[in-house]
Chain A
Amino acid sequence: MKQLIVTLGFCLFSVLSVGQQVANSIWKEANSDYQKGDFVSAETKYQSIINQGLHSADLYYNLGNAQFKQHKLAQAIIAYRRAIRLSPSNNDYKFNLELAKLQVVDKIESIPPFFMVTWISGVKHLFGPNGWAKVAIFLFCLFSASIILSRFGNGIVLKRIGFWGSLGTFVIFCVAISISFSERSQLQDRTEAVILSPVVTIKSSPDNSGKDLFILHEGTTITVTDSLSAWYEIKVSDGNKGWIPSMNVEKI
């Protein structure tokens, strides 16, 4: 059994590692292009790694930097947000994102969320979805061990530790696995999007003849709440809603 797992793991690793080596050489070239100030070439190289189906938080971060240097504000914000999604606790990513956001024209008064929401999202962003999955599997190991301890523990104290430990680890395990799933669903139907066009008019209906409600500028982050053919219904963080042609935005 163990041999099978090892073989499987090894196969997977070797398949991935071929792609890894190629990607890492492109990565080095792109980084040196960036250092020379050739941001256009650096961007295309970073993008080519992503097009291979590979990614990493740092890759998105570097891509964002190359785009920011070319004044591609909206794309840079999207790349930073993707980097943060993979590695939510990195402060460098957050710093550059905040700096890019300063150049966004729209200043939207966002309604401050309830402190519990901030706290929960803080906990959620301790790890990425895969990180939480790993935490869950670790907790599951602990849980099984505690159950065994509670049954076969030598002496009443060990048995008690086993019992309460199994209860506690089970609860945390459930939390971890549900966070992992919720992050996955967020990843699959991504609702947050960034405005790409320099300026775009938000309509009252999914139709060009709709009444103009307000305008948004490049780089503003919005939430997509609905979609109809080539239109998205969006919500701005100050609560305003309206319709926008979907080609003007990109989901994060």
Chain B
Amino acid sequence: MKRLLLLSLFLGGIQTIWSQEVNFEASAPEVVEVGEQFRLIFTVNSHPSSFQLTSVGGFNIIAGPAQSSMSSTQIVNGQVTQSENYAFTYILESDKEGKFKIGSAQIKVNGKTFVTKPFEIEVVKNSDSPNPAQSSSSVKGNSTNSAGDLFVRVEVNKRALYLGEALEAEIKIYVRGVNIQQFENLTWPSFNGFWSQEIETPSQLVFKKENVGGRIYDVGVMKKYLLFPQQTGTIKIDPTTIDLLLAVRSNTPQSIFDDFFGGNVQTENRHILSPAVTINVKSLPENGKPVSFSGAVGLFSMQGELDRQQLKANEAATYHLKVSGTGNLKLIDTPKMVFPPDFDTYDPKITENIKTSSSGASGSKIFDYPIIPRSAGTFTIPGVELSYFNPVSGKYSTIKTAPVTVTVSPDLSGGATTSVVYGGVSKQDLKVIGKDILFIKVQPQHFTDRKFLLVESWIYYLSYVLILIISIFVWLFLRKVQKEHSDISLYRNRKANKIARRRLKMAEVALKANNNVLYFEEIHKSMLGYLADKLSIPSADLTSEKIAELLKVKMVDEQTILDVEDVITQCEFARYSPSAFIEKREMIFEKAVVLISNLEQIIR
């Protein structure tokens, strides 16, 4: 049981990859000479069940089909890789010049049918005596021609093109009938006026047959370049110079193996120079040139996307902008992205994935823009434009990425952690630590109407009116009181003279009745009463001193005041001892009358 398990484990470990793709192809030289024997080989990497070739054109089949197979097994880290190769070989020959078509071959693998494409082989006139050894694809020596034929050329696939359009240049060496022993000094063109990129070529020279002017040369591609013209006008590609050593045999060797044993071989120095090549570079048309054009030539597409649609404030995200296509990708400027203003943006990281092949530079260039939104909200990252010139159509195209909408949710940490890192976001955060807002007020409130304003309410103005009315009432009341007061004095003032005169008349009556006491009393009364009325003195304050004082205020002269005092004093005395004043009684009366009429004029 255990063994079975182990075995099954072991078997499980060996996994053979069956899912390999079936590859069926034909190979043959492109050019052959008349009478030359060559091989036509069909290879397939899987076991075929049947093989069938439709036709070989005008070629004679000398041998074949010969079937051969090869298989290899590789075990790397327990992974088993098996590969099989089956080949069907024909040896063909032609006795006519011209182009002949090899028809398609058909095989069946696991029930499926695979077909090769038909292709042509050119047969040229035999330049030299036929030599079976020539069928080998190596540098050949020729017995008769020691000088041989040898030259170098720079071949371009376009002679006229637009600025920035790709151009392929191959430096090829053409060899016929000579044996190159060693390259000594190789100078490649400097390609002034171009931006050049070398295309990988095999380190070992691979020669192919090519028909040049009716002669078959062995042609080797020494270097391959992709050129992007950087200026307009006629650009000349410098010649390539090659110094090499040739092996020259003076005598006819018996076989090719003599070379190995150093037969009668001489070396010869040779300096070869390629003819100059001129390229005509057209400037890009000004007509219809977009504003955003910055020199991209080729055929491109562009995509922009954000790595996340939802993110928080102060969180980093990346905007990927991918430009892919064929053309001068490497020369494309970094597109100017316009991010929302509150985003922190940094210089993009540029990743290039460009394959340079003979078809041009193709691949993609990825710009990764790191961004950090600083605030919450919904933002739209606008699309970015790229304009390029399409040399095939000869027109400009503008491509644009779609705008990207991103929702930024608030950063609940309040940016406190990140702001320390980036600095300068919150101005005084350090001060705030440990501080909090003061607590709410809890005492009962007297709420007021929100829209209530004292200056706008009629009650406010009513209260002014009320104050005004109250003030007017107070005013009127006070004035009335004052008026009443002043009316009494005026009355007394006006009546004073009359009362005084009535009293004096009564004094005269008393005199006729010879009543002296009454007589002086009446004079005294008339005098005091008059003064009290005139000076508005209440009878309680009525003294001669007070009268003198008030008379002085009223600007009465000294003599009159003395007279008034004299009359009052004499009358007071006469009231108690009238007999002493009997002879003076007429005089006092006269004096009182004169004083009253005088005072009446002075005091108003």
Task: Give me the interface of A with B, judged by CB distance under 8 Å.
Answer: 1, 5, 8, 12, 16, 19-20, 23-24, 27-28, 31, 34, 49-50, 53-56, 58-59, 61-62, 65-66, 68-69, 71, 92, 95-96, 99-100, 102-103, 105, 107, 129-130, 133-134, 137, 140-141, 144-145, 147-148, 151-152, 177, 180-181, 184, 187, 197-199, 201, 212, 215, 217-218
Contacts and interface: CB of A to CB of B under 8 A. Distances in A.
12 contacts: A28-B444, A54-B448, A56-B446, A58-B445, A65-B440, A105-B425, A107-B427, A144-B470, A181-B455, A184-B456, A198-B410, A199-B342
A79 B347 CA distance: 42
A38 to B, nearest CB: 13
Contacts of A56: 445-448
Interface in B231-252: none
B379 to A, nearest CB: 9
B414 interface: yes
Interface of A is mostly: helix
B447 A55 contact: yes
A62 B449 contact: no
B440 to A, nearest CB: 4
Contacts of A71: 410, 412, 414
Contacts of A65: 437-440
Interface residues of B, number: 55
Given A31-B442, A34-B440, A215-B341, A198 B375 contact: yes
Residue with the highest number of chain B CB atoms closer than 10 Å, among A1, A103, A151: A103
Given A54-B448, A99-B437, A151 B475 contact: yes
Contacts of A129: 453-455
Interface string B449-493: 111111110011001101111110011001100100000000000
Interface string B424-443: 01111101100111111111
A58 to B, nearest CB: 4
Nearest to A147: B471
B377 interface: yes
B432 A24 contact: no
Contacts of B414: 71, 103
Nearest to B419: A105
Contact of B455 (A23, A27, A180): A180
| 9 A-B pairs with the lowest CB-CB distances in the bound complex, closest first | A133-B454, A198-B375, A144-B471, A54-B447, A199-B375, A58-B441, A199-B342, A62-B440, A55-B450
A212 B440 contact: no
Nearest to B474: A148
Contacts of B428: 102
A65 B340 CA distance: 32
Contacts of A177: 455
Contacts of B450: 50, 53-55
Contact of A20 (B425, B447, B470): B447
Contacts of A133: 453-455, 460
Contacts of B440: 31, 34, 61-62, 65-66
B448 A103 contact: no
B437 A100 contact: yes
Nearest to A12: B459
Contacts of A34: 440
Contacts of A23: 445, 447
